[in-house]
């Protein structure tokens, strides 16, 4: 099971930058099609909200690859 966690860590690390690039590319395309204020504000909010989520995916993948999730606590005494 720990090996699966490490492989999925690699997936998360690769998925984070891909999500950022795709989001910015899509936002630029949509703003280019209709450069009114509502579209710019809408896509700015999307980018601001989802950018930390994508960065968190990379951090989560790094810790998973590092092995931080190999042993998860079973009860509250292990925390």
- Inside any domain, residue 14: yes
pLDDT for the residue 70: 86
- Inside any domain, residue 11: yes
Question: At 24, which helix (H) or strand (E)?
Answer: helix 2-33
Task: Give the model confidence (pLDDT) of 27-69 as tens digits.
Answer: 999 999 988 999 999 999 999 999 999 999 999 999 999 999 8
Is 79's pLDDT higher than 80? no
Range of the domain at 9: 2-28+35-69
pLDDT for the residue 77: 87
Kindly state the greatest CA–CA separation across the chain. 56
What is the number of structural domains in the chain?
Answer: 1
At 71, the pLDDT band (50, 70, 90 cuts) reads: confident
- Inside any domain, residue 76: no
At 14, the pLDDT band (50, 70, 90 cuts) reads: very high
C-alpha distances (whole Å) from 1 to each of 8, 16, 17 are 11, 23, 26
């Amino acid at each position: 099971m720990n090996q699966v966690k490490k492989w999925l860590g690699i997936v998360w690390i690769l998925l984070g930058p891909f999500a950022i690039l795709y989001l910015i590319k899509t936002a630029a395309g949509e703003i280019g099609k209709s450069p009114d204020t509502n579209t710019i504000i809408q896509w700015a909010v999307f980018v601001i909200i989802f950018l930390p989520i994508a960065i968190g995916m990379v951090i989560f993948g790094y810790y998973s690859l590092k092995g931080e999730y190999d042993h998860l606590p079973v009860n509250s005494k292990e925390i």
